[in-house]
Structure 1
Amino acid sequence: MNMPTSVPEFTITRTLNARRELVWRAWTEDKELAEWLPSTPLETVSFDVRKGGRYRYTMVNNETGEEFPTGGVFLDVVPFERLVFTWGYPDAPIEDSPVVTLTLTEQDDRTEMTFHLRGFAGHPGDRYVYDGWSDALDDLMVHVLGQKE
């Protein structure tokens, strides 16, 4: 008898000193994403933010030139509140892809952002997926602080 195995997952939460609309734009507009996601040229970013819409971007290692194409499908879009999307290779089958659930909760002029990745293990100090996303979310925090309403 096989015991069910748990799906690897992790959650990162940040409180940003920015309104929820600014944080939403940072996640859903090509130009905004290219400004905070490390080494992601704007010309590689394409977002169709609607349920069933696709997105893609390419991160580039500035030292080696190696490219890391990334993409997926939006599974659920609730403007300014929640994005659910697959994350991995741009054309990977949905059922084989990790899923990100991004929740934005308004707290006066601040936003609590909860990033949950299901289908990939991660922990602080892993120098891999968790730390990569944690660093990227730190960059996002700095980016939205510099934005105007």
Structure 2
Amino acid sequence: MSDEIHELSVSCLIAAPPEICWKVWTDLKDQWFCPKPWRAEVIEEDMRPGGRSAVQMFGPDGEETGPMEGVFLEVLPGRRVVTTDAFRAGWIPQTPFLTAIWDFAAQEDGTRFTATARHWDAEGKSRHQEMGFEAGWGEMMAQFKALCETSAAIA
């Protein structure tokens, strides 16, 4: 068994405090979670360990994903969220793709936000890269940053 972590990650500094970034992450996911012109619809987010996480994405030409369904593994309000699609609610196993880690770190000039996708193996990581991880998660990150900074300006 290999100890290698098959991880992809994007990070940015957001000119907004962690509490605003947390509120945007929890309350406005439909506005930033997937690259436009796609849109996301939150079906359920029971933000506690074992709680259901389900989001569906819709494309501009009628395409649909999923829903992408999993469970929360860790929720530290304002600091970190960890989810996985290895299970659906009720700890029912399903074919896994990744574990997502969302970190919010306070800094003097705002929040360091890092979104990480950990894959079960090198093949899953490679498949995610080929699907356009950098472009897709990079656009998601840019949308999240802009929404956080706009929210901070009106707060």
Q: Does 1:28 align with 2:26?
A: yes
Cα separation, 2, equivalents of 1:47 and 1:109 = 30
Q: Does 1:66 align with 2:63?
A: yes
Residue in structure 2 matched with residue 40 of structure 1 by the alignment: 39
Deviations 1:40-81 (A, max 9, x none): 354x43211111111111111112x11012121110011101
In structure 1, the gaps of 5 or more residues are none
User: TM-score under structure 2 normalisation?
Assistant: 0.77
Report how many residues are paired: 142
Which secondary structure state, in structure 1, belongs to the residue aligned with residue 39 of structure 2?
coil
Q: Does 1:11 align with 2:9?
A: yes
> Residues 33 and 40 of structure 2 are in contact (CA less than 8 Å); yes or no, is this contact kept in structure 1?
no
Share of identical aligned residues, percent? 25
Deviations 1:72-122 (A, max 9, x none): 111001110111111489677368341011111111350001111100426
Residue in structure 1 matched with residue 48 of structure 2 by the alignment: 50
Identify the structure with the greater strand proportion. 2
Cα separation, 1, equivalents of 2:4 and 2:95 = 16
Which secondary structure state, in structure 2, belongs to the residue aligned with residue 100 of structure 1?
strand
In structure 2, the gaps of 5 or more residues are none
Question: Which AA in structure 2 matches 1:104?
Answer: F
Q: Does 1:135 align with 2:139?
A: yes
Q: Which moved more, 1:93-102 or 1:49-58?
A: 93-102
Cα separation, 1, equivalents of 2:100 and 2:51 = 15
Which secondary structure state, in structure 2, belongs to the residue aligned with residue 75 of structure 1?
strand
Residue in structure 2 matched with residue 146 of structure 1 by the alignment: 150
> Residues 105 and 111 of structure 1 are in contact (CA less than 8 Å); yes or no, is this contact kept in structure 2?
yes
Cα separation, 2, equivalents of 1:12 and 1:84 = 15
Which secondary structure state, in structure 2, belongs to the residue aligned with residue 49 of structure 1?
coil
Cα separation, 2, equivalents of 1:41 and 1:55 = 13
Cα separation, 2, equivalents of 1:73 and 1:89 = 6
The 5 Å alignment of 1:117-132 reads 117-119=117-119, 120-121=124-125, 128-132=132-136
Which secondary structure state, in structure 1, belongs to the residue aligned with residue 115 of structure 2?
strand
Pick closer, same or farther for the CA change 1:26–1:90 going to 2, 3 Å: farther
Residue in structure 1 matched with residue 100 of structure 2 by the alignment: 100
Cα separation, 2, equivalents of 1:101 and 1:41 = 19
